[in-house]
Amino acid sequence: MEDKYISAAVINRLPRYYRYLGDMITQGIERVSSYELSERMRVTASQIRQDFNNFGGFGQQGYGYNVKYLHDEIGKILGLNVKHNLIIIGAGNIGKAIANYQGFESRGFHFRCFFDCNPDLCNTKAVGLDVHPMEELPEYLRNNKIDIAVLTVPRAAAQKTAEIVIENGVKGIWNFAHYDLKVPADVKVQNVHLSDSIMRLSYELKNTHN
Amino acid sequence: MEDKYISAAVINRLPRYYRYLGDMITQGIERVSSYELSERMRVTASQIRQDFNNFGGFGQQGYGYNVKYLHDEIGKILGLNVKHNLIIIGAGNIGKAIANYQGFESRGFHFRCFFDCNPDLCNTKAVGLDVHPMEELPEYLRNNKIDIAVLTVPRAAAQKTAEIVIENGVKGIWNFAHYDLKVPADVKVQNVHLSDSIMRLSYELKNTHN
């Protein structure tokens, strides 16, 4: 069913459903109606039903959805049943924070090592992972199947670094550099542009105080 | 003109305009047409004109926009001409990465100090800023005008921490905890949910490989 066109807005909401359903599993909740889920998530029940109908509806029967089934199905849609191998380029604070983040490993995101151009960091460990010199990146990628490169390099180095990983077969880039990468159509990029986020907050505060 | 209703989609695009215009100033570009800007930003020129018309159009005359003027006006709309005082709650890797991030200070985001509940970190320095114990947070907020609290605490502590800062007058929360905070209407929250972002990347990769 993944072949039919699903809007980006629906896809963008899936991780949030997944997160709430995971919390409900932790809380021992076995079934949930779209109304209850809508109360928790502060979206309308009709939105939830519409979103889920994109994927066949997830078999709501009698009293609502089976939480575990729904969680697992959304996980599969998100590709979380597949193991992803990742490298982090840039062993600074953001890179270390990501490698340390709770819950990535259990969702199949497996961080293999860091790369960094700082000779003081190379051949040391960062949060338990090896830090390799940047010069070794192309050879490493040829010898290891890496699905996602996490870019936490300065923005001036971002495009060049992206090109190296793409040339060596990486199809996914999680980009923390504050730069919109130019990549071929078969390469997928997700950006985390922190300044854009704080500027939106600044806008909202300004318009509250007016 | 900020009083009229502007859609969230337009607001979400403003930081990106601001970023591209800032780059053009660095490159010495003085004027730009909506067509040229659209080529750089990979959006349509008509989209750009529509967006800018929300703010009176920014006086495009003859050959395009004055880059510096446009940059400054968008900066003002985003509230970047106002100085914001921030504290960071949680002196871990993400907190340190944010305090260290280039370019926040020049846009008026002034990081004052950290708070952390780890006794080993308290009363030390992190990336040049003082780390205070959490117990001192309410008193600190009563004695200092803080506009934005950056939350980089574990998700289990997020709501409680948000309530403390809100009770003590903070109106803006930049939330890195993987939890959707419940806050009063006059408090503005911007979330950076890293797992949601990597799950979207996982989805896109899965649907590429199919």
Name the residue among A102, A189, A202 with its Cβ closest to that of B79: A202
To the nearest whole number, what is the mean pLDDT of chain B?
Answer: 92
Q: What is the pLDDT of residue A127?
A: 92
Q: Are A3 and A54 in contact (CB under 8 A)?
A: no
Which element (helix H / strand E) includes B130? strand B129-133
CA separation, residue B125 to residues A100, A103, B128, B140 (Å): 21, 28, 6, 17
How close, in Å, is residue B60 to chain A by CA atoms? 23
Q: Is A79 on the interface with B (CB under 8 A)?
A: yes
Cβ neighbours of residue A143 closer than 8 Å, sequence gap 6 or more: none
CB atoms within 10 A of CB B177: 24
Q: What is the pLDDT of residue A173?
A: 98
Q: Is B13 on the interface with A (CB under 8 A)?
A: no
- Total residue count of chain A as it appears in this document: 210
Q: Is the pLDDT of residue A195 over 50?
A: yes
CB contact under 8 A, B178 and A103: yes
Q: Is A97 on the interface with B (CB under 8 A)?
A: yes
**Range with the lowest mean pLDDT among A17-31, A137-151, B42-56, B129-143?**
B42-56
List CB contacts (< 8 A) between B188 and chain A. Answer: 201, 204-205, 208
List CB contacts (< 8 A) between B172 and chain A. Answer: 201-202, 204-205
Q: What are phi and psi of A34, to 5 degrees?
A: -65, -30
Name the residue among B80, B94, B196 with its Cβ closest to that of A199: B80
Q: What is the pLDDT of residue B20?
A: 95
Q: How far apart are CA A176 and CA A167, in angstroms?
A: 20
CB contact under 8 A, B206 and A78: yes
Q: Is the pLDDT of residue B57 over 90?
A: no
pLDDT digits (tens, 9 = 90+) for A94-110: 999 999 887 898 899 99
Give the confidence band of A64 by pLDDT, cuts at 50, 70, 90: confident
Q: Is the pLDDT of residue B126 over 70?
A: yes
Name the residue among B15, B92, B101 with its Cβ closest to that of A97: B92
